Structure 1
Amino acid sequence: MGSNYALFVCISLMMSATSAVDVHNIQELAAAKKGSDKFISIKNLHVPAGVTLDLENLQPDTVLEFAGRVTFGFKEWTGPLVRIAGKKVTIKGKPGHVIDGEGARWWDGKGGAGGKVKPKFMRLKLDDSVVQDLHVKNAPVQMFTANNCKNLVITNVNLDNEDAHKNRIGRNTDGFGVGDSKNVTVQNSRVYNQDDCFCCGSGVDIKFINNICIGGNGISIGSMGSNRVVEKLTVRKCKVISSFNGIRIKARKGEKSSVSDVTFDDIEIKDIQHNGIIIHGNYPTWHPTDEPTAQCPIKNLVVNNVRGTVQKGGSNVWIWLANGAASNWKWNSNVTGGGKKLACKGIPAGLKVPCGK
């Protein structure tokens, strides 16, 4: 991001050691955002039911800290519970803090498809900013969404929905979602959830580096459609453990979109239930009985050193694309264990992919 931005981050962190405005109740928030002190501490705050913790319109150079325990009242609504927006800001968590959605009050095994109306957790709209050291726990549904962001670094964030695994009551608890954004990096973080660990639906120059994904639906691009574009996306040095899929590109059948210059490098998968690597053009289905369409070209794809294990009932690699949709791919994978042999189609001519094995 350049030396000027690095200097901004350094100055912001130095400010955190000087003065602060503590916000203990929602009524204090508006004044804190407008005040001259640019270090705001959200400390042991309870947000009333049906109210968004509105952290939009933060002044440039603000340091926003979460401390203690932040909780939310119960209501059936769409949320979000937290909304953060600004430019040149630092969002961070103090050691020992937790932002707790107490999602068990909403979980019913149906996620966003029915049952209780569940609020999304946290939405970000940030430019030239850093989010670091946050502990987010027990989201009702989608956990952490960054849309319309530019030059954003998210680092050392723990998205912990492990409690929702009990009796499989959590669903659609997506971890990191990125859309319509440019130059966003998510790194050194951990996700334990019940849907996509990371999903990019659109964006340019997106990175997902050195992260751990547990229990969800793996690392995904898409679903692609509605003229969305994903360009220059890198996933590197990540682990996907005990998840439904490992890595995935999914394109909606009959809808225009494009995926280009994508790299999956040094990815370890372990104990995957369904597909180790899956790339398909017939979403929302994922079976070879439904023909794919070619409206989403996938070009300049690199799959390098993607390795690990799939459960016996799953498949190691499955590709299901219309002829001509894929071009200029490079492939190096070693995924084993899956006993399900699925037919594949649409692999670029001359490329050796261990598909259907």
Structure 2
Amino acid sequence: MRFPIALVTLPAALVAATPAGRRCTGTISSLDDVAAAQKCATININAFTVPAGKSFDISAIDGATINMLGDVKFGVANWAGPLFSVTGSNLIFNGNNHTFDGQGASYWDGQGGNGGVTKPHPMMKIKMSGSYSNVKVLNSPAHVYSVSNPAKLVMSKLTIDNSAGDKANSKSDGKAAGHNTDGFDVSTNDLTIEDSTILNQDDCIAINKGSNIIFQRNTCSGGHGISIGSVSTGATVTGVQVLNNKVLDSDQALRIKTKADATDASVTTVTYTGNTASGIRRFGVIVDQSYPSTLGTPGNNVVISGVNFGTNDIAVNSDAQRVVVDCGAKCTGAWDWSAL
């Protein structure tokens, strides 16, 4: 006995495992375009100006590719920020050497986040995994990048140019107008930052907590050098590699700073090797457990151990100190400076 077979054609929407919209290309030319564009697997950002007091936020689908096709400028307003954020997993973000312009000169008053006018910071909030490359940031109001990736992230071939903030202006009382312009504030795991240039007036990178962090082949100029910390109560920093970087014309080259009142915190398994520094104004290498003081009374409740210095070429100015260690009771290890 034979039975007839009925062929039923299902609607395409039921057949597709992935919604068709995710295969689209979304284009952002204003904030009005973001909601639709971020549903697509490819997002292209054209040149436009973000209105003052608004944040440009992308929450991309997993695996999306984001391309900058033009420069993005942010309007000026005294508010908390951030100016830009990107969120997602396994993203490819390619800036194609285009620029995010924070118009920092309109905010700079020599006080950064410590006073004066309210400055949006951080300027750039990175909450993605995957790769983030070929992006330029010009004139951030204060801190540049805050990085809190959910899984492995490689940031490469970036430029941060706050060099215009080196000069005083009418609001900075003779001091550098740019202040608190940290390049990267890092509290995360599984992060690599490489092959980048940072011109600023504060820490090139500040690793506040986290693990498996690599900072390599970068150039830091004009600021406070490469920092671990300041380390606060409850923070753990471990598995950090600082490799083959150049630090130029900065207050410090390599620094570990922990807060004097911090407890239940540690800095362990840190390697510095292949780094070069010149024009260092204060300290070539400084390990200081008295923060926010400098070389004050160190705290005794933060463990520092397993810090290894390989071959590093550190040149300081004539009135600077090459190596200083201001440690409390839990700062241990064989400090071998012979390869500096």
Q: TM-score, normalised by structure 1?
A: 0.84
Structure 2: how far apart are the matches of 1:163 and 1:332? 38
- SS of 1:305 mapped into structure 2: coil
- Determine the structure 1 residue equivalent to 2:7: none
Is residue 273 of structure 1 aligned with residue 281 of structure 2? yes
The letter for the 2-side match of 1:199 is: A
2:314 maps to what in 1? 308
Q: 1:284 aligns with which of 264, 280, 292?
A: 292
The question of whether the paired residues in 2 share the 8 Å contact of 1:67 and 1:98 is answered with no
Cross-structure match for 1:201: 208
Counterparts of 1:263 and 1:253, CA distance in 2: 23
Q: Does 1:27 align with 2:32?
A: yes
Alignment pair present for 1:250 and 2:257 = yes
Q: Equivalent of 2:67, from 65, 84, 87?
A: 65
- Determine the structure 1 residue equivalent to 2:109: 108
Q: Which amino acid aligns with 2:240?
A: L
> Secondary structure, in 3 states, of the residue corresponding to 1:300?
strand
Contact 2:144 2:182 in 1 (8 A): yes
Counterpart of 2:165?
A: 164
8 Å Cα contact 2:301-2:329 kept in structure 1: no
- Is the contact made by 1:22 and 1:40 (CA closer than 8 Å) also made in structure 2? yes
Q: How far is 1:333 from its partner? A: 3.7
User: How far apart, in 2, do the equivalents of 1:65 and 1:332 lie?
Assistant: 46
1:278: Cα distance to partner? Answer: 0.3
Aligned-partner Cα distance in 1 for 2:125–2:286: 28
- Once residues 324 and 204 of structure 1 are traced to their aligned partners in structure 2, the CA distance between those partners, rounded to angstroms, is 20
C-alpha distance in structure 2 between counterparts of 1:139 and 1:333, whole Å: 37
Instruction: Kindly provide the CA deviation profile for residues 197-252 of structure 1, in whole angstroms up to 9, marking residues without a partner as x.
Output: 01110001000011000001000000011210001000000000000111000010
Distance 2:232 2:333 in 1: 19
Output the aligned Cα RMSD. Answer: 1.4
Q: How far is the alpha carbon of 1:47 from its aligned partner?
A: 0.7
Flag as ranges the 4+ runs of structure 1 deviating above 4 A.
none
DSSP-derived class of the 1:74 partner: coil
Amino acid at match of 1:133: N
Q: String of CA shifts for 1:118-144, please: whole Å, max 9, x gaps.
A: 0110011113x1001111111001111
Secondary structure, aligned partner of 1:327: coil
Alignment deviations for residues 306-344 of structure 1 (CA, whole Å, 9 cap, x no partner)? 22211122111110002442225444343xxxxxxxxxx
Quote the residue 2:305 is aligned against.
299
198-207 or 160-169, larger mean C-alpha shift:
160-169
CA contact (8 A) 1:253 1:281 kept: yes
Letter in 2 for 1:72: F
Which amino acid is the alignment partner of residue 219 of structure 2?
I
SS state of the match for residue 297, structure 1?
A: strand
Tell me the residue number matched to 1:341: none
CA displacement at 1:21 relative to structure 2: 2.5
Aligned counterparts of 1:153 and 1:324: Cα–Cα separation in 2: 33
Q: Is the 8 A contact 2:284 2:315 kept in 1?
A: yes
CA separation in 1, counterparts of 2:36 and 2:24?
16
Of all paired residues, the percent bearing the same amino acid is 31
Distance 2:132 2:38 in 1: 18
Moved more, 300-309 or 137-146: 300-309
Q: Which residue of 2 aligns with 1:119?
A: 120
Aligned residue number for residue 338 of structure 2: 332
Residue of structure 2 in register with 1:352 after alignment:
none
Whether the 8 Å CA contact 2:65–2:91 is kept in 1: the answer is yes
CA distance in 2, matches of 1:332, 1:146: 34
Question: Whole-Å Cα distance in 1 between the matches of residues 338 and 125 of structure 2?
Answer: 36
> Counterpart amino acid of 1:43?
N
What letter matches 1:26 in structure 2?
L
Q: Distance in 2 between matches of 1:329 and 1:142?
A: 32
Greater C-alpha radius of gyration: 2
2:26–2:36 Cα contact (<8 Å) kept:
no
How far apart, CA to CA, are the structure 1 residues paired with 2:120 and 2:330? 41
Shift, 1:161, TM fit: 0.8
The answer to whether the 8 A contact 2:301-2:330 is kept is no
Distance 1:106 1:265 in 2: 37
User: Is 2:154 the counterpart of 1:149?
Assistant: no
Checking the alignment, whether the CA contact within 8 Å between 2:206 and 2:227 is kept in structure 1 is: yes
For residues 82-108 of structure 1, give each alpha carbon's deviation from its aligned partner in whole angstroms, at most 9, with x where no partner exists.
Answer: 01110011111124x211111100001
Find out whether 1:39 has 2:42 as its counterpart: yes
Matches of 2:329 and 2:52 in 1, distance apart? 51
Distance across 2 between alignment mates of 1:107 and 1:85: 28
> Residue by residue, what CA displacement relative to the aligned partner does 1:32-57 show, whole Å, maximum 9, x if unpaired?
112xx41111111211111110112x
Structure 2 gap ranges (5+): 1-22, 169-175
Alignment partners' CA distance in 1, 2:139 and 2:240: 28
